[in-house]
């Protein structure tokens, strides 16, 4: 029966400010090492907030040929690199297994898509006065470009589309991929998200919201000052658990549940009730009880209001069980990668379950009475994780929570 299908995570790929692959990224997360540093993509004299979590030492010409670079925006490049790593990790070649490729979904999220291409087009037209844009501007900038390019590159002919719901985009993408497999609409999926929007326009726009930290990202810490923008991609290979076992695949964990809700309130102010409803639904769909969850990879942006609101929501859902939860924010290390944030966090959560290590909340200085859970400050902790949540609470009140479970 389709409703009894379990969904395994068998491959992960990622690129972020912490490294160009999962091995480098996990080593940084385990060490509590931050990828936040002075920005290099933006003239520092033209911005007030001069830090970010950029992908460092990245040379696109060493990753893609000239023909590919004509059609790949930076965010698409990141998505392709993460997808290639995830498939190699899973040990699947979809081009060789054409039947599986016909039933494999590609759901790749992004908050803004090809932002650098948009910026380049405006600069060319309005600053340089050129009479026309580059002919491939639209195929590069469209928000579904990464999903399309992954589908074409790896011969995936099942359902393919993009999800865009601000900072919850990747959790929505992973959740919908989970439901597709669970209900029999797909046998496997490549799902996650990618973002590369660090630019002068973006940075000045974020500064105007007054939610940015000028020193570093300190989620749940008393003196936290705000978020730090990041970039990167995370892609997961999802497949039927029975299929994974039959082919002897390495299994990181399973996605056991998925909760989503809308605050229907304010465009930027978080709401504890909306977040709590998404977490309760994740418990309900997974069949897990509050006491079964050992770890939460929190949304934890580092703003005063967001972090306190998320802790309030966790307490409302978990009650007494909240006291024994480990609740950390890996955004303290890889920054807030916007539409790709929860993809990076899904990779971190899968590795945490596999390795029995909880990545810390880095840069933590002092406890906040409004954030009084176990935030595993600064140093990773060895701990067996039976089940974990990954929370995303986006602008516009769009909440998505994934429940992961050890197999």
Q: In sequence order, what DSSP letters do the residues of 50-111 get, joined into one string?
A: -EEBPPPS--GGGTS-HHHHHH--HHHHHHHHHHHHHHHHHT--TTT-HHHHHTEEEEEE-S
Note the pLDDT tens digit of each residue in 288-312. 999 999 999 999 999 999 999 999 9
Q: Is residue 55 part of a domain?
A: yes
Q: Is residue 253 part of a domain?
A: no
d(CA 349, CA 390): 7
The pLDDT value recorded for residue 240 is 98
Evaluate if residue 369 carries a pLDDT over 60: yes
d(CA 236, CA 254): 11
Evaluate if residue 181 carries a pLDDT over 90: yes
The pLDDT value recorded for residue 96 is 87
The one catalytic residue among 299, 334, 371, 375: 299
Residues 210 and 308 in one domain: no
Evaluate if residue 1 carries a pLDDT over 50: no
The one catalytic residue among 162, 167, 217, 371: 167
Q: Is residue 251 part of a domain?
A: no
Which neighbouring-strand residues pair with 402? 258, 390
The pLDDT value recorded for residue 3 is 58
Please choose, from the candidates 187, 172, 387, the residue with its C-alpha nearest in 3D space to the C-alpha of residue 287: 387
d(CA 161, CA 186): 13
The pLDDT value recorded for residue 52 is 98
Q: Is residue 167 part of a domain?
A: yes
Q: Residue 360: which domain range? A: 258-405
Residues 209 and 283 in one domain: no
Q: How far is CA 5 from CA 16, 157, 277, 294, 392, in A?
A: 32, 21, 25, 24, 25
Residues 225 and 326 in one domain: no
Residues 153 and 263 in one domain: no
Residues 86 and 179 in one domain: yes
The pLDDT value recorded for residue 203 is 95
Domains: count for the chain: 2
Q: Is residue 331 part of a domain?
A: yes
Q: Is residue 11 part of a domain?
A: yes
The pLDDT value recorded for residue 161 is 98
The pLDDT value recorded for residue 94 is 87
Give the mean pLDDT of the chain.
97
Residues 222 and 141 in one domain: yes
- Point out the domain boundary residue: 202, 219, 246: 246
Evaluate if residue 342 carries a pLDDT over 60: yes
DSSP 329-379: -THHHH-B-GGGHHHHHHHHHHHHHHHTEEPPBTT--SBBTTB-SB--BSS
Number of CB atoms found within 10 A of residue 43's CB? 9
- Point out the domain boundary residue: 190, 219, 246: 246
Q: What global pTM score does this model have?
A: 0.97
Q: Is pLDDT larger for residue 1 or for residue 274?
A: 274
- Point out the domain boundary residue: 183, 215, 246: 246
Residues 190 and 314 in one domain: no
Q: Is residue 252 part of a domain?
A: no
The one catalytic residue among 172, 334, 336, 375: 336
Q: Residue 371: give its domain's CATH number.
A: 3.40.47.10
Q: Is 20 a catalytic residue?
A: no
The pLDDT value recorded for residue 320 is 97
Residues 280 and 223 in one domain: no
Of 128-132, 183-187, 250-254, 391-395, which gets the smallest average pLDDT?
128-132
Q: Is 167 a catalytic residue?
A: yes
Residues 239 and 262 in one domain: no
Note the pLDDT tens digit of each residue in 41-95. 999 999 999 999 999 999 999 999 999 999 999 999 999 999 999 999 999 998 8
Residues 213 and 148 in one domain: yes
Q: Is residue 52 part of a domain?
A: yes
| Confidence band of 100 (pLDDT split at 50, 70, 90) | very high
Evaluate if residue 124 carries a pLDDT over 70: yes
Residues 127 and 212 in one domain: yes
The pLDDT value recorded for residue 118 is 93
| Confidence band of 137 (pLDDT split at 50, 70, 90) | very high
Q: Is 336 a catalytic residue?
A: yes
Please choose, from the candidates 238, 219, 237, 239, the residue with its C-alpha nearest in 3D space to the C-alpha of residue 228: 219
Tokens 């993408």 correspond to what residue? Answer: 173
Q: How far is CA 212 from CA 69, 226, 228, 303, 375, in A?
A: 32, 5, 6, 8, 21
Note the pLDDT tens digit of each residue in 250-294. 999 999 999 999 999 999 999 999 999 999 999 999 999 999 999
Residues 141 and 202 in one domain: yes
């Amino acid at each position: 029966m389709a409703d009894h299908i379990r969904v395994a995570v068998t491959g992960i790929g990622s690129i972020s400010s912490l490294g160009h692959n999962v091995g480098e990224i996990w080593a940084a997360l385990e060490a509590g090492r931050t990828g936040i540093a002075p920005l290099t993509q933006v003239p520092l004299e033209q911005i007030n907030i001069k830090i970010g979590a950029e992908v460092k030492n990245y040379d696109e010409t060493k990753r893609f040929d000239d023909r590919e670079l004509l059609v790949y925006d930076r965010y698409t490049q990141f998505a392709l690199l993460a997808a290639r790593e995830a498939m190699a990790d899973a040990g699947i070649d979809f081009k060789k297994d054409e039947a599986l490729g016909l039933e494999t979904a590609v759901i790749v999220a992004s908050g803004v898509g090809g932002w650098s291409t948009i910026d380049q087009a405006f600069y060319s037209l309005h600053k340089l006065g050129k009479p026309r844009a580059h002919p491939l501007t639209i195929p590069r900038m469209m928000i579904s470009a990464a999903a399309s390019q992954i589908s074409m590159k790896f011969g995936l002919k099942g359902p393919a589309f993009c999800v865009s719901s601000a900072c919850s985009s990747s959790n929505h993408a992973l959740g919908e991929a989970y439901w597709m497999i669970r209900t029999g609409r797909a046998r496997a999926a490549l799902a996650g998200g990618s973002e590369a929007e660090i630019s002068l326009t973006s940075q000045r726009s974020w500064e105007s919201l007054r939610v940015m930290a000028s020193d570093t990202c300190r989620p749940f810490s008393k003196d936290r000052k705000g978020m730090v923008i990041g970039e990167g991609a995370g892609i997961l290979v999802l497949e039927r658990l029975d299929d994974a076992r039959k082919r002897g695949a390495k299994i990181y964990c399973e996605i056991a549940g998925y909760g989503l809700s809308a605050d229907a309130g304010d465009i930027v102010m978080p709401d504890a009730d909306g977040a709590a409803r998404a977490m309760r639904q994740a418990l309900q769909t997974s069949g897990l009880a509050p006491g079964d969850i050992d770890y939460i990879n929190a949304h934890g942006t580092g703003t005063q209001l967001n972090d306190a609101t998320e802790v309030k929501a966790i307490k409302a859902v978990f009650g007494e069980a909240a006291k024994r939860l480990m609740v950390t924010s890996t955004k303290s290390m890889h920054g807030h990668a916007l539409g790709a944030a929860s993809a990076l966090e899904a990779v971190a959560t899968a590795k945490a379950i596999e390795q029995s290590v909880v990545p810390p909340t880095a840069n933590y200085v002092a406890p906040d009475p409004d954030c009084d859970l176990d935030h595993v400050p600064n140093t990773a902790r060895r701990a067996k994780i039976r089940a974990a949540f990954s929370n995303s609470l986006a602008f516009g009140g769009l909440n998505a929570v994934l429940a992961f479970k050890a197999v």
